[in-house]
Chain A
Amino acid sequence: MSAGAAVLTRTVTPGRRLRNRLASILVWLSVLVAVVPLTFVVVYVVVQGAKVISLDFLTKPIPIISRLPGPGMGPAIVGTLLTTGVASAMSIPLGILAAVYLNEYGRRNRVATAIRFLSDVMSGVPSIVMGLFIYTVWVLRFGLSAFAGALALGALMLPIVIRSAETVLKLVPNELREASTALGARTSRTILSVVIPAALPGIVSGSLLAVARAAGETAPLLFTIGATRTVNTSVFNGVNTALSTQIFRNAQLPFTGAQDRAWGAALTLIALVLVLTLVARLVTARFSRR
């Protein structure tokens, strides 16, 4: 270990002290370099978005004439909630079940290892590839809809939910399982009544983080959801829209009216994601007091 050789002096020379100080400064600097732009971006979005946020903005349909200023983004909010909701309803139960398989039944078998590995691989697939995939298998046959968007988002969420749920399930002490089995409970009963409740806070917060991630995604929705100006509450029929795709579209327009709506939508989206993330943390902090 080179540290041994380097320190066979009796005092800390100025050179060493200087290098130490320099390293310290650089490390603090790197924190600043990350914190400053981030705060700037968030503040900028909040300031620009706050100029347009109003109840009208949140509820009115998207204006027909894109160059005029004015509300709203109501349909986009509904679309985001719809697609994210359906995606979560599909991927969270499936993800938890898969994690259950990986941790409870498959700790040592090869199928589980393969699933675990591929699930990690799947979490690295770019979101636009997910969108293209759903486009080729669903949209080409059944057309654009909120459900197609939800499929793409769900595919994105699945590996995240699996990983976080498996992590939490792994932390449940084996003693609980053994005690339940010793009392005569079936495996499935043990899992459902003992293991999952014990892991629930972690599962909930991991799922909420996955939901937050999905709510902010744009690329999977680009070719699956279409675009509309008015609220469409139907999941399977007809095109829909979402906050993220509206922001993407309006960011490319030169009209200040459209750009203002984009800022408003961005603020709404950030607020939604932040609320989900905060709730996730609250759940962890409150319930995981181990």
Chain B
Amino acid sequence: MANFRPGGILSVVLVRNDNSATAARRSRRRLLGLAAVVATVGLVGAACGGSKGSDTGSSSSSGASSAKLSAATLNGSGSTFQLAFDEAAIAQFKEKQPAVTVNYGGGGSGKGKQDLADQIVDFAGTDSLVKPEDASKYKGGEFLYIPTVAAPITVSYNLKGVSDLKLDADTIAKIFSRQIKTWDDPAIKATNSGATLPSTAITVVHRSDASGTTENFTKFLAAASPTSWTIKAGSTVDWPTDTQAGNGNQGVASAVKSTDGAIGYVDLSDAKASGLTFAQVKNKAGNFEKPTLEGASKALDGATVNADLTYNPLWTDGADAYPITSPTWVLVYKNQTDKAKGEAVKAFLTYLVTDAQDVAKDVDYAKLPASLQAKAKAAVDSIVVGGSAGSSGSSTTTK
């Protein structure tokens, strides 16, 4: 009669089969053999893998650095649009100020803004503005917009055999609102007379998190094609149900890359790094523009900058402007109460708007126009550390 034992794999904890010494020995031998295999695999793997080189790039040589700061850890979260730029800047900043560790976690502009409001992070990355009614939620008081870079939002797609798609705002709006469902739709054919479009179904990929990229993309659609784009623009959008979602710009890129017939909006840096193909978009002047840094810069030139350094480069005039150029800022509190952190934040942000501008294009971001750069630096300088005003690096006297 078999024994009662509670079910589950734990029953194999107990020796189930025969109890002879030979069987025990045999099973032990087999186990040791298995263990040997596991160990060998591990060793072989370790032997075969060589050590890979380090990943940081060469340190910047310009001498605008201040004296070495004392140890501090800065945490930031928010926009994944600027994530690649931030990572590159952080890697280089580490070489200049080795005692300061900066962590940028991404998570979407919505998360960044919420985290900064709750004072869980020291700075937030965002591509979209804080709504006036939300300003009171920011526990640390007044905050500043520091523009850092700008970049095109690409309309990336995955369609075999089609490498040079041209789309206008109307068509894009219809695709993303699911009025157009297949690639061989007449509207798409109209702007792509030379291409052979298959009848594959279109899979729309959008963001699942609260995203500044989404906000800018939908603002563009609302401005450029108000009749076709009837869904409200914003950081979270009521997308049609038969669409897919990805986490962060990288998640959207990943989804587009792995699904045939997919289309999504991704920042240029991640789109290029993922090997995606992107479409040319018709701008206000009527020209089809590729998403390039030059196109982004032209769009920036056409935008008006407000007093608080916010601006809107979407759907601007300009013959060669790329119509879906997105701005991005770092949000930071004007009053930094912690001295070490405040100094570190100021130094890091100064770095972002001065030296880091030169590495922007290496990671496919457009640097700010000179005038905006100067205004950004002035804004960073106005950050008050520990209660007394002063430029970065100077010691503070009172708290």
Contacts and interface: CB of A to CB of B under 8 A. Distances in A.
Interface of A: 46, 49-57, 63-71, 120, 160, 163-164, 167-168, 171, 202, 205-206, 209, 227-230, 252-255, 267, 271, 274-275, 278, 280-282, 284-286, 288-290
A70 to B, nearest CB: 4
20 contacts: A52-B52, A53-B49, A55-B51, A64-B90, A65-B87, A66-B250, A67-B84, A70-B54, A120-B6, A164-B10, A202-B13, A202-B14, A209-B13, A254-B253, A254-B274, A271-B42, A280-B13, A282-B31, A285-B24, A289-B24
A87 B161 CA distance: 53
Contacts of B50: 54
Given A274-B38, A288-B14, A227 B254 contact: no
Interface residues of B, number: 52
A65 B273 CA distance: 12
Given A50-B48, A253-B250, A255-B250, 19 more contacts: A50-B41, A50-B44, A52-B49, A56-B52, A57-B49, A64-B56, A65-B91, A67-B273, A164-B13, A167-B14, A202-B13, A205-B13, A209-B9, A228-B103, A229-B103, A254-B254, A255-B273, A284-B15, A289-B19
Nearest to B272: A67
Interface of B: 5-6, 8-10, 13-15, 19, 21, 24, 27-28, 31-32, 34-35, 38, 41-42, 44-46, 48-56, 84, 87-88, 90-91, 94, 101, 103, 105, 246-248, 250-251, 253-254, 257, 270, 273-274
Given A64-B94, A65-B91, A288-B15, A271 B38 contact: yes
A255 B274 contact: yes
A93 B114 CA distance: 41
Contacts of A227: 105
B58 to A, nearest CB: 14
Contacts, number: 135
Main secondary structure of the interface of B (DSSP, over half): helix
Contacts of A68: 55
A271 B45 CA distance: 12
B10 to A, nearest CB: 5
A68 B84 CA distance: 11
Contacts of A274: 38
Nearest to B94: A64
B5 to A, nearest CB: 6
Contacts of A167: 5-6, 10, 13-14
A73 to B, nearest CB: 12
Contacts of A285: 15, 24, 27-28, 31
A64 B55 contact: yes
B45 A70 contact: no
Nearest to B21: A289
Contacts of A206: 10, 13
A195 B349 CA distance: 65
A177 to B, nearest CB: 20
Contacts of B48: 50-51
A67 B13 CA distance: 43
